[in-house]
Structures are given as C-alpha cells and as structure tokens.
C-alpha cells in the first residue's frame, strides 16, 4: 500500500469514527450536567467517613482501593516486563562508557545546566516526598509524588552524572524498594482480613479532625507505599533505557 492509498483509507475510516463519536457524544448528558449519583454521594460522605479532605485520594486508596492494588501492579509489571524485554541478549556485552570516537569533540555540559539540575535535585525530592505523604489533605498522592521523586534521580543524570545516577540507584536496591512498596500496599489490605475486616478496610485511627497530617488512617499509609513503589519503578524504567546505551553487540 502506498502512503497516498493509506491516507485515503485513513480519511474514510476517520470520517466514520468521528461520525460515531459525535453520535455518541450527543447522547451524553451534556457538559456540566453530570448525572452520576455515586460521585455526589461520595462527596457528601467521604470527609466524615475517612477524615481525608482530598476526596480523590479517598476514592483511590479507600473506596476503590482494590482497583488501585491492580493499578499499582500494572506499573510493577511494566517495570518487570521492561527488564525482561531489555535483558542482555546473547552476543551482547556491557561496556564501560568509554569514548569510542576520540577525535570527535563533544561540547561539555554547560555549567548552567549542571548547576540548575543539581540545585533542583533537593527541592524536587522534597516536593515528591511532600506529595506522597499528603494524599489525605491536598491534590496529591503516591502516584504523583512517586513520579516527581523519580525525576529527582533523573535530574542527576541530566546534570551529566550518569555514573552517579547508576551508583545512587542500583538495580538491587530499586527492586527491593519496588517490592516493599507493592507488598506494603497488599500487606495493609491483608492485615484487615487478619482482624476479621474486609480486605483494605480502614482500621487505623482516623485522626482528630479531617485534613490533619495524621488523619485518614490507612489512606495516608497506602499513599506512602504507593509513592515509594512508583518512584522505584520509574527510576528502574529510566535506568533500564539508559543502560541500553552501554550495550554493544559483539
């Protein structure tokens, strides 16, 4: 099929798709008129029930907690799948990063980039921790915090310090942290069963008033475990991709 034929084929299919989409959209209740009773009911109940002022976190780690276990394991599986797909193949060997084209002149990473990246490492890590540990109060949580925490490590790489990045995030440690994060979430859920409660039931004290850092019981704890799992998974994924530059086929 030539490129032109393919484009015509796509144009016809896309026109059909758009027609179907528009037809479907006309059946929706219309922008701003969401009719679902479930969300509104949660809005009424959540703060009193969970002492979490962040209702989205309350849904993720409490009402839909079981779904979020699956969601977390999607990421866990992706990181594992990535190391399987990118494993060292036969005939591949790992080389230390040596300059193989010595005549080539590479402009050094500018001091401005290095300093900016290294200066951002600390604040980024703090922001990530803050987000991962404040799921109960504000628009934050383990997933968002974890990703930002991982980007603190990637900033080290951006500063031109690949070897430091590798030293700070060794595979064995990342795997252990990832496993602890994913396992911690499930362990919190199983502990409820051990107490004759439903899986992932919120059995910790809810704190004195909604919005306190110590409020919301298991929601905050689960968010913390999700945070370290996500941070480790993303650092491992980026690390896997960066490692590829060190593989040579013999």
Which has the closest alpha carbon to 65: 192, 174, 175, 150? 192
Stretch that binds other proteins, among 74-82, 95-103, 161-169, 195-203 (CB under 8 A): 74-82
Question: Residues in the chain, how many?
Answer: 250
Asked if 119 is part of the footprint of other proteins (rule: CB under 8 A), the reply reads no
Stretch that binds other proteins, among 100-108, 160-168, 200-208, 233-241 (CB under 8 A): 233-241
Asked if 6 is part of the footprint of other proteins (rule: CB under 8 A), the reply reads yes
Q: State which of residues 126, 176, 190, 241 lies at the interface with other proteins (CB under 8 A).
A: 241
Asked if 86 is part of the footprint of other proteins (rule: CB under 8 A), the reply reads yes
Q: What is the largest CA-CA distance in the chain?
A: 70
How far, in Å, are 48, 63, 215 from residue 209 at the CA level?
9, 20, 7
Distance of CA 43 to the CA centre of its chain: 25
Non-local CB neighbours of 101 within 8 Å, separated by 6+ positions: none
Burial (CB < 10 A; 0-12, 13-18, 19+), residue 240, is middle
Binding site for other proteins (CB under 8 A): 3, 6-7, 10, 14, 17-18, 21-22, 25-26, 28, 30-34, 36, 38-40, 42-44, 46-48, 53-56, 58-60, 64, 67-68, 71-72, 74-75, 77-79, 81-82, 85-86, 89, 137-139, 141, 143, 147, 210-211, 234, 237, 240-241, 244, 249
């Amino acid at each position: 099929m030539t490129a032109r034929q393919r484009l015509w084929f796509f144009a016809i299919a896309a026109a059909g798709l758009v027609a179907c989409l528009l037809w479907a959209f006309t059946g929706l209740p219309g922008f701003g008129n969401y009719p679902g009773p479930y969300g509104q009911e949660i809005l009424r109940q959540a703060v009193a029930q969970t002492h979490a002022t962040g209702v989205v976190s309350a849904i993720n780690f409490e009402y839909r907690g079981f779904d979020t276990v699956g969601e977390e394991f999607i990421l866990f599986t992706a990181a594992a799948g990535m190391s399987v797909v990118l494993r060292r193949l036969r005939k591949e060997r790992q080389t230390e990063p040596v300059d193989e084209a010595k005549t080539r002149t590479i402009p050094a990473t500018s001091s401005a980039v290095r300093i900016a990246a290294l200066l951002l490492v600390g604040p980024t890590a703090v922001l990530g921790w803050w987000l991962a540990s404040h799921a109960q109060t504000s628009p934050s949580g383990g997933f968002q915090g974890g990703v930002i925490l991982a980007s603190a490590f990637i900033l080290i790489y951006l500063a031109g310090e690949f070897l430091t990045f590798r030293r700070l995030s060794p595979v064995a440690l990342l795997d252990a942290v990832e496993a602890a994060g994913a396992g911690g979430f499930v362990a919190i859920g199983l502990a409820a069963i051990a107490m004759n409660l439903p899986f992932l039931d919120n059995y910790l004290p809810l704190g004195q008033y909604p919005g306190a850092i110590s409020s919301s019981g298991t929601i905050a704890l689960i968010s913390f475990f999700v945070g370290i799992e996500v941070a480790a998974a993303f650092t491992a994924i980026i690390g896997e991709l960066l490692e590829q530059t060190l593989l040579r086929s013999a």
